[in-house]
Structure 1
Amino acid sequence: MFPLKLQVRHALLGAIAGLLVFVQLQHPQILPLSKTSSRDSTILNISPAILEIQREISCFDHVHIGQPKFFSPKGSNGHTMLTGKPWGLPAGAYTPRQIVEANAPLLETVIHHLGPSAFGRPPAREQLIHNLASNLALNTREASITIPANDASRVEIAVQAVKIGKRLIEYVRNVTDVQYDPEYVVCSPCEGHLLKPDVFDLMFGSRSLRHLMQIYNEYLHQMVLLRDALLPFDNFEDVIIPITAEPNRKRGMHHIEEIRQSFLAEVMTKQVTQRSTIKTAQFLLAPTSSSRNSIGFQYEYGTVLPAFIASGNSGRLLRYVPTLLNSSSKEIVFNNELLDYYTATRASISKQADDAANESEEGPQASLASKGSGDSTVLALAVDYPDGTRTKVDLGQAARGYRYAKFVSGKKGTTSDATKRDVQVHSARSLLLNSGEGLVMLTNGTHLVRAVGAVELYALLGKLYPENVVVMEEGQSLGQALEAGKEGLPDAGSFVIEVRK
């Protein structure tokens, strides 16, 4: 069941992953993790296409998203341990914690048959849970997956995997009053999850029964599948997961096997794309909807959007929001308006956008508004100013701009260097309202765009052509910003967005 070659291969991969995690923990400046405060982070002098991290601009304004709803997932309300039948969960809506609780009878059945440990030996429960923790970690011989830290997208997924794994173990340890069937038997194919040496002796020793390993194997695999299914969500604990009565969705988390393999193949071999992340999330929560060009979606129990727009901390991950943008539809897919931004209509900076001296200091309000129908439904970020003017930008393009932008790191400095350069100053409001349709293209030189808060920042990132765009907080040095964006095309100019809280 556990060939020597497989164990050696996992040991080598685990050692490599362990070294990467050790380096990250000891020297966090070497490998960027998820988006962090710009004043605590370091820009690497490496191509931004390989290692570039989105950093959070700490602002207090936010975007209004739909109509808040209260969902009360019931979790498991039916019998799961049917002797001779594959393991499954009753149809219903589950939080991740409830899925862990619903799978607990598998673990309890194994523990029941193993019985108490000899004096001085750890209880079977502790040994089995410790093995699961090793399967969910990334730096152990028993790790179910290893993630190479070759770029920021995979580093962020690796951090996610560790965070989710630790939380699932907390859930496992806190489960109490579990009902189980001592007579339960299940046929569960070996999934290659390695056992720690002491657990191997426990499961195949004199205390065990022949069928217990299959029950424990099913338990391990359900937990690994749950961890991997939650990777796209930065607020994974809040996600409500529907389990339907369809034949291919009865066996707990087994229905995600195919999409999991596809997603993990990308994680292991290339940069993680927004398309694969959203596709994985949709298959878990809204499996009948198309993910060909989606940026987010609404399903029966809420809405899933790019995390940054919903008070999240990531430009790559998604965020579950307990709201409905359209209460008349159960499922809606929100698409990118521009599938290929290279072919977008291009606009120039209008002359009206050159004078920022008389602009209001009061920031705008923002909300998400859907337009279109069917496969043509898109989400717009609607920005409303106090004087009644309004502008809209495509949320898909804003998310793309957010991922592509460079964020300035380091301490705040003086702005005196701005006077030494040929800098054209614009207000975000004038640029957004007066630049016409299409994406605003750069002209030669440096264009400093002053934005009031996160709302104008997000709108600008959806309006500016996403090349040579740098974001900094008010008070940071313009020289730092230009240094951060120096990898762009020669003589193409730069947009520097200065964000005031």
Structure 2
Amino acid sequence: MSEYQLTLNDKRIAWGALLDVEPLIGSFNDDEDAIRKGTSTVLDWNLPSGIYRAKDAVIGLDKLLEAMLVQLGEPINSDPTVLLDSLQANLAVSGRESSLPLGPLAFEDWPGKELTGQAKRIGEQLVNWAREINSQKRALSQYGEETLEELEFRSHCYHHKLTPDAVAQVFGPSGGSRVMQLYNEYIHQFVLLRDALLPFSNWEEVPFEIKEHTEYKGLRFIEAARKAFLTQLLGRDLSHKSIVQYAQHVVCSDLSKAGYGFQYRLGTILPASLGVSALDAPRYLLKWHPVQTIKLDEAAELTAVSFEYAYEDYYAAPRSEAGSGTTEKADVLVLSDSSGLYAWQPSKARLSPHTDADRTKLNFIIEKDGREYAVDLGQMFRGHRFSYRPLGSENREISSDKLPRLSYHHAIDILSHPGLVTNTEGVHFIHTGTNELVSWAVLGKLYPENVILLDKADREELSAAHAAGKGYGAKFFVL
């Protein structure tokens, strides 16, 4: 297998072995069908066991909608627009029918803001697919009207609200209990699908397995994990670890512990910030990569691996003093190559796994003059999550004559210290030469407190940066 490579502008991050999962997608159990004989003489429905992506699940769920339309009968009573509009209202993040009304909560914390955006994007695309797929009438062509007419089962109610037009159609003269049960399951499965995909920035690409359960239909196997996850989200008590744990329940149930990412048999899940500029990267979302990070024996029972932090508790991690550096006045900062700060421009980083005492860690490694500089990948992500930006209410300008002196440090000096780098006092400026690989490595070495990410380091931004962060202790500016 070839090495997997992630592109970051003109830089590369390489690791593991590239996985080709495409032949597995949409490969379902030949002995199972979506519509099959139930426990009685009527026909039942389920998603066949196999490997899905989001759109594959939407195709499987469309069979329910097509059965409803057949059972509603006359075209005037079986217009899919009303039922699909009600689905759209359920998947919206605001409104009376919303199943997850995150919009009105107006989250200000990072996980709340990122997951609200995810819920909106995913819900809108799922409905677009649902409309597209229903227009193709695949199930009607596959099964015929007579079979779809016989589909019937009990769907336990989860109080999904319908639009008035949908209520009139489902409970009207051509509707009734059978149609309502199908529609309730249709809505609920879409809600589960949307919520299952919330942790993943590239949610359309994530492959997940659905197994045949006698007690669960389709995606209902995630209900317990989903309830715990949403309780934390709505209670504004959601941690990055909670998001990772939930993602593991969705794509892989083999892991009981959670770190900052994991590998399962269909790829690797890591924070979505990897491969993105630190200034623009999401802080809490995850991303699926088609790569086997840890080589596993095909015959081995181990099919999933958790990636854990080198420092479980960063507060207790060993620390080094950054030192005084070179002190200059902030307003005479000259961003030129004469200082030698930009001389180091690595174009490639690699991830290297290390397993010790049943714990698997990943190092982020860059090189200079034959020497490797390694930082813990988990600490790198942690440093990014805890960093500040000189924006919003923090963007208060300070006159240049009141700006404290900056201590300038070479990035390579910071990376050469053991443990996490901090200082007891002062404002410390680390220029990475606008090299994203170096910037990320520095974030993994600094003690994650009072670290402010800069974009231009002009006078206005420096002034706002001095007002950012916590009101005590040393500060580190990373450009």
Give distance in 2, aligned partners of 1:483 and 1:397: 26
SS of equivalent residue, structure 1 residue 146: coil
Q: Which amino acid is the alignment partner of residue 57 of structure 2?
A: I
Contact 1:154 1:271 in 2 (8 A): no
SS of equivalent residue, structure 1 residue 347: strand
Which residue matches 1:74? Answer: 26
The correspondence for 1:357, drawn from 332, 339, 351, is 339
Root mean square deviation of aligned Cα: 2.8
Contact 1:406 1:485 in 2 (8 A): no
Aligned length: 430
Listed as ranges, the matches of 1:126-275 within 5 Å are: 126-147=81-102, 148-152=105-109, 153-175=111-133, 176=136, 177-178=138-139, 179-180=142-143, 181-182=147-148, 183-245=150-212, 247=214, 251-275=217-241
Give distance in 1, aligned partners of 2:37 and 2:177: 16
Give distance in 1, aligned partners of 2:466 and 2:154: 56
Contact 1:470 1:481 in 2 (8 A): no
Q: Which amino acid is the alignment partner of residue 371 of structure 1?
A: H
Residue 267 of structure 1 deviates from its aligned partner by 1.1
Give distance in 1, aligned partners of 2:429 and 2:402: 12
Which residue matches 1:124? Answer: 79
Which residue matches 2:362? Answer: 379
Give distance in 2, aligned partners of 1:258 and 1:340: 28
Which residue matches 2:451? Answer: 469
User: What whole-Å deviation, never above 9, does each CA across 1:88-123 have from its counterpart, x for those lacking one?
Assistant: 2222110100011011111100011113344xx8x5
The correspondence for 1:334, drawn from 303, 307, 317, is 307
SS of equivalent residue, structure 1 residue 465: coil
Contact 1:405 1:466 in 2 (8 A): yes
Which residue matches 1:493? Answer: 474
Residue 418 of structure 1 deviates from its aligned partner by 10
Which residue matches 1:303? Answer: 268
Give the TM-score normalised by structure 1. 0.79
Contact 2:260 2:270 in 1 (8 A): yes
Listed as ranges, the matches of 1:16-35 within 5 Å are: none
Which residue matches 2:5? Answer: none
Residue 374 of structure 1 deviates from its aligned partner by 6.9
Give distance in 2, aligned partners of 1:364 and 1:353: 27
SS of equivalent residue, structure 1 residue 97: helix
- 326-335 or 253-262: bigger deviation: 326-335
The correspondence for 1:446, drawn from 415, 427, 442, is 427
Note closer, same or farther for the CA distance 1:96–1:199 as it changes in structure 2 (3 Å cut): same
- 321-330 or 444-453: bigger deviation: 321-330
- 80-89 or 204-213: bigger deviation: 80-89
Give distance in 2, aligned partners of 1:246 and 1:373: 36
Contact 1:95 1:237 in 2 (8 A): yes
Residue 83 of structure 1 deviates from its aligned partner by 3.8
Runs of 5+ in structure 2 lacking a partner?
1-7, 298-302, 329-337, 393-398
The correspondence for 2:245, drawn from 279, 286, 293, is 279
Which residue matches 1:429? Answer: 412
The correspondence for 1:396, drawn from 365, 373, 378, is 378
Deviating beyond 6 angstroms after TM superposition, the runs of 4 or more aligned structure 1 residues are: 351-356
Contact 1:354 1:424 in 2 (8 A): yes
Residue 375 of structure 1 deviates from its aligned partner by 4.0
User: What whole-Å deviation, never above 9, does each CA across 1:249-278 have from its counterpart, x for those lacking one?
Assistant: x52100000010011111111142101110
Give distance in 1, aligned partners of 2:113 and 2:222: 23
Q: Which amino acid is the alignment partner of residue 82 of structure 1?
A: R
Which residue matches 1:44? Answer: none
User: What whole-Å deviation, never above 9, does each CA across 1:431-454 have from its counterpart, x for those lacking one?
Assistant: 102x1x211112322111011321
User: What whole-Å deviation, never above 9, does each CA across 1:450-481 have from its counterpart, x for those lacking one?
Assistant: 113211111111110111101112x3325524
Contact 2:391 2:464 in 1 (8 A): no
Note closer, same or farther for the CA distance 1:482–1:391 as it changes in structure 2 (3 Å cut): farther
Check if 1:345 corresponds to 2:318: yes
Runs of 5+ in structure 1 lacking a partner?
1-57, 411-415
Give distance in 2, aligned partners of 1:373 and 1:88: 43
Give distance in 2, aligned partners of 1:351 and 1:388: 27
The correspondence for 2:69, drawn from 88, 93, 111, is 111
Give distance in 2, aligned partners of 1:299 and 1:87: 28
- 464-473 or 418-427: bigger deviation: 418-427
Give the TM-score normalised by structure 2. 0.83
Q: Which amino acid is the alignment partner of residue 163 of structure 1?
A: R
